[in-house]
Amino acid sequence: MTTDAPKSDATGAPGSNARSVLIETGEWAGWRRPDRDTFDTRSGPFYHRRDADGSVRCAFLVEKRHLNGIDVAHGGCLVTFADHAIFMFALDHLRGGPSVTVSLNSEFIGAAYEGDVVEATGDVLKAGGSVLFVRGVLKVGARIILNYSGVIKKLKPKAAIPAPRDPDQGVD
């Protein structure tokens, strides 16, 4: 894959206040990627787009740095991508508010190799007031390599979350 020219967009994906960039050229043209300096961004790059039917699809290219000692995509990389994907699938339900993964379960079914494009598809099974249940699969072409499900917890805005205690201050 070639290096793609991104275009900044502060709107992010629908329902999100996260920044993302729209890729305008190259093999990833039409896809978006997060525009932030976080673990999942450094682990990828992971891309996402909304398909014509309204569903969200995520993808990444397996590079040498994603491999383990036997030259297949590292399981931790695939699970990190699955964790990223559940939030992309849930964007419309999260409405830009803070949220965290409560649970993420996965089953490895196959392998991905350097040069493979891994795609994630999935959906929200149930969205309650503060908890969402999401599932999906990772595929290389038509071949499923990982099945996963996760639970996302919506949090209160940062202003309402107390700051961590200073461990040197003791306990009350």
Q: What is the pLDDT of residues 101-156, one digit of tens each?
A: 999 999 999 999 999 999 999 999 999 989 999 999 999 999 999 999 999 999 98
Distance separating alpha carbons of residues 83 and 86, to the nearest angstrom: 5
pLDDT tens digits along 17-72: 457 899 999 999 999 998 888 887 788 899 999 999 999 999 999 999 999 999 99
Q: Domain segments of the chain: what residues?
A: 6-157
Q: Which pLDDT band, with edges at 50, 70 and 90, does 95 fall under?
A: confident
Distance of CA 12 to the CA centre of its chain: 13
pTM: 0.81
Can you give the length of the chain in residues? 172
* CATH class in words for 6-157: alpha beta
